[in-house]
Amino acid sequence: MRADYLRPSKGGKSIASAEVIRKGNKVAVCKMNLHNQSGMHIATGTAAYVI
């Protein structure tokens, strides 16, 4: 897993979203994004999962 923190959240609620980029027979690759209440991009991440 890799996480890139772009800026601090500064309190309040955060909204996370994720999508599967590629799903093979044995491994799935996903991309995640985190935004604050104002819609500013706070962090991003990618991960590979063994299925």
Cβ atoms of residues 16 and 47 within 8 Å = no
Report d(CA 36, CA 8) in Å as an integer: 9
* Residue 12 pLDDT: 87
**CATH architecture assigned to 2-50:** Roll (3.10)
* Residue 33 pLDDT: 98
Order of strands, edge to edge, in the sheet holding 14-23? 2-5, 41-50, 27-36, 14-23
Give the pLDDT confidence of 8-50 residue by residue, as tens digits: 988 789 999 999 999 999 999 999 999 999 899 999 999 999 9
pTM of the model: 0.80
Cβ atoms of residues 34 and 15 within 8 Å = yes
Domain residue limits, the chain: 2-50
* Residue 7 pLDDT: 94
- The token duo for 42 is 């706070």
